[in-house]
Amino acid sequence: MTPLAKVPSHAFAVAPMLERTDRHFRYFFRQISAKALLYTEMVFDLAILHGDTERLLGHRDEEHPLALQIASSDPGRAAKAVRKALAYTFDEVNLNVGCPSEKSQRSGIGAVLMRTPGRVAEIARAVYDECGVRLSVKHRLGLDADEGYAPLARFVETVAAGGVVTTFIVHARKALLSLDTRKNREVPPLRHDLVHRLKRDFPELTIVTNGGIQDLKAVTRHLEAVDGVMVGRAATEDPWCFAAVDAQIFGLPRRPTRQGVVEAMAAYLDDALGEGVPAAAILRHLVPLFRGVPGARHWRRALTESVTSPEGLLEALKAIPPEVRLEPPKPHTAPT
């Protein structure tokens, strides 16, 4: 029996993002979609082994389906860290093979692991032997001088040949190790076509594409070629844009409203304040919920400057016209 909570669908996922996809964001996005696969921020193996695990891994049941992303370069350490982390219950454990930061490079984790797919396979094997969990891998198209499809296919083929990893999430641009992390999400060109080809060549693997995907129309288009789509910045910058995901991608009869989302978050805020969480840590995620609609400026100001309580949050909602806050997901997000 798998020690994971359940096998999640990869059709639509929200990317792991440091300082963005913390537990509060995940609870918030869960009000928008019941089924999107959510990822934690990247957590170092050593932090799991020696750090404050409740702070790093703690979450609510409602956040599932939930994947933990780990950073590791060492099979033994990864195995021990995953064993410890599983006490918190996750639906997937993912290995970061995409982070190009200097710190990651120095520690031999993240994108530099693309040079050693054999090591990625060893890490996956160690975790599997220790815990019975098949890691998924989130990686790039290649590194530095790598060009075209061959380096990507070689990486995936070698990792998959280790016999453990069957799910590959590809940030569809290569990593340039001389650039900072931010430029590495913008400068190397996106090549989703290479990820689509990967699925054609490895039909037995679960292939997910990621990078620059802005709305559900684009998600639907990619799903014709791959098993799943992972959305990063767009989900934090304009979360309501994905409000039709349950109906459109997962076929659920669910029509959330922004009023419903805010009411659920007011109850969550109430609990969290009781646990000593500062209101701002939660409210910051709700700021873009009303992007581009009447009352948005008032909402943003209230949340960043004055709201400190659930009552204040519900009061701020009144700045948004009822026809907007009670409106189900917009038809423009429907497939064309």
Ligand X SMILES: Cc1cc2nc3c(=O)[nH]c(=O)nc-3n(C[C@H](O)[C@H](O)[C@H](O)COP(=O)(O)O)c2cc1C
Compare residues 20 and 221 and give the one whose CB is closer to ligand X: 20
Stretch that binds ligand X, among 13-21, 121-129, 253-261, 278-286 (CB under 6 A): 13-21
Does residue number 232 form part of the binding site for ligand X (CB under 6 A)?
A: yes
Compare residues 22 and 320 and give the one whose CB is closer to ligand X: 22
Does residue number 221 form part of the binding site for ligand X (CB under 6 A)?
A: no
Question: Position 37: which residue type?
Answer: L
Name the residue number minimizing CB distance to ligand X.
232
Stretch that binds ligand X, among 59-67, 231-239, 245-253, 314-322 (CB under 6 A): 231-239
80-99 mask for ligand X (x: CB under 6 A)?
Answer: ----------------x-xx
Compare residues 19 and 305 and give the one whose CB is closer to ligand X: 19
State the helix-helix crossing angle for 23-32 and 258-274, rounded to 10 degrees: 150
Give min distance, CB of 109 to ligand X, in A.
Answer: 11
Does residue number 138 form part of the binding site for ligand X (CB under 6 A)?
A: yes
Site for ligand X in 21-40 (CB under 6 A): none
DSSP E strands in the chain: the ranges are: 12-14, 37-44, 66-71, 92-97, 136-139, 167-171, 206-210, 228-231
Alpha-carbon distance of 237 to 160, in angstroms, equals 34
Does residue number 212 form part of the binding site for ligand X (CB under 6 A)?
A: yes
CB-count exposure of residue 292 (10 Å: 0-12, 13-18, 19+): exposed
Number of residues that bind ligand X (CB under 6 A): 23
99 is catalytic: yes
147-176 mask for ligand X (x: CB under 6 A)?
Answer: ------------------------x-----
Catalytic residue of the set 36, 43, 99, 219: 99
Question: Do the Cβ atoms of 47 and 74 come closer than 8 Å?
Answer: no
Number of other residues whose CB lies within 10 A of the CB of residue 311: 12
State the helix-helix crossing angle for 258-274 and 310-317, rounded to 10 degrees: 160
Q: How many residues belong to the chain?
A: 336
Give min distance, CB of 113 to ligand X, in A.
Answer: 12
| Long-range contacts of the stretch 115-119 (C-beta < 8 A, 24+) | 115/143, 117/154, 117/155, 117/158, 117/159, 118/158, 118/162, 119/73, 119/75
Does residue number 107 form part of the binding site for ligand X (CB under 6 A)?
A: no
Compare residues 81 and 302 and give the one whose CB is closer to ligand X: 81
Single residue of 35, 197, 233, 291 touching ligand X by CB under 6 A: 233
Question: Could you give the count of Cα atoms lying within 13 Å of 58 in the half-sphere of its Cβ?
Answer: 6
Stretch that binds ligand X, among 112-120, 209-217, 272-280, 324-332 (CB under 6 A): 209-217
Residue 284 contacts by C-beta under 8 Å, 6 or more apart in sequence?
303, 304
Residue 106 contacts by C-beta under 8 Å, 6 or more apart in sequence?
none
Does residue number 119 form part of the binding site for ligand X (CB under 6 A)?
A: no
Question: Do the Cβ atoms of 99 and 148 come closer than 8 Å?
Answer: no
What are 209's two structure tokens?
């594409």
Stretch that binds ligand X, among 55-63, 232-240, 242-250, 305-313 (CB under 6 A): 232-240
Compare residues 190 and 273 and give the one whose CB is closer to ligand X: 190
Give min distance, CB of 69 to ligand X, in A.
Answer: 6
Compare residues 171 and 199 and give the one whose CB is closer to ligand X: 171
Question: Do the Cβ atoms of 329 and 247 come closer than 8 Å?
Answer: yes
Does residue number 100 form part of the binding site for ligand X (CB under 6 A)?
A: no
Q: Could you give the residue numbers annotated as active site?
A: 99
Residues in contact with ligand X by CB under 6 A are 15-20, 41-42, 69, 96, 98-99, 138, 171, 185, 210-213, 231-234
